[in-house]
Structure 1
């Protein structure tokens, strides 16, 4: 059964991280541009990542009241970062962006999903 997350701050931390990432992605700094170009993600589609991250932020915050929504969102964010990790691997773009940003966010996503199962 899905329970309210305890500790509650893990999903909130993930939501804040995704929100900050979405805001930065509106006018991407160099490290974000290098990352997206490095994996070959088309520039015409960069806006979709902003929408996905904002939707995930909302889902994680709504999930504080409705745990099923939060857990489903956390699982979706895990799938997102697993896909990003695969894109990095496939493109052989395995610099610090992969290790710190991609895998770091994947680890935070997993950590944020676990409290729903406790």
Structure 2
């Protein structure tokens, strides 16, 4: 098993990039389901800017990583870690509603799948 430094195929990374860009844009004026999610895990409103910063960095990293070896792989791994932390926050707060099962775990599985499909070579 080895790792590819550039995404091959690139389309899963592009799909993740589009989703992350949409998620970042939604964080600028969060709709009710995002507000409910963040409040459900007791994430302080004063720190929501940090999520916008992290999501923006992921969009930049995935974009740059389409051409610069190692960047998209590292960014995708960081997105996996982000959603592991989000899952832990949901479990800790006992906020195990549909946002946890669909959004949080769905994005964890998607980002993990992108990491494996685009970067792991058997």
Moved more, 107-116 or 90-99: 107-116
Residues 1-118 of structure 1 correspond to what in structure 2 (within 5 A)? 1-114=3-116, 115-118=118-121
Which deviations, in whole Å up to 9, do the C-alpha atoms of 1:52-103 show, x marking residues without a partner?
0010011011111123011111110000000000000000000000011001
Count of residues paired in the alignment: 118
Aligned partners of 1:70, 1:8: CA distance in 2, in Å? 10
Aligned 8 A contact 2:40 2:95 in 1: yes
Aligned partners of 1:49, 1:30: CA distance in 2, in Å? 16
Aligned-pair Cα RMSD in Å = 1.0
Aligned partners of 1:57, 1:31: CA distance in 2, in Å? 22
Aligned partners of 2:36, 2:66: CA distance in 1, in Å? 34
Aligned partners of 1:70, 1:3: CA distance in 2, in Å? 8
Alignment gaps of 5+ in structure 2 = none
Alignment gaps of 5+ in structure 1 = none
TM-score (norm 1): 0.95
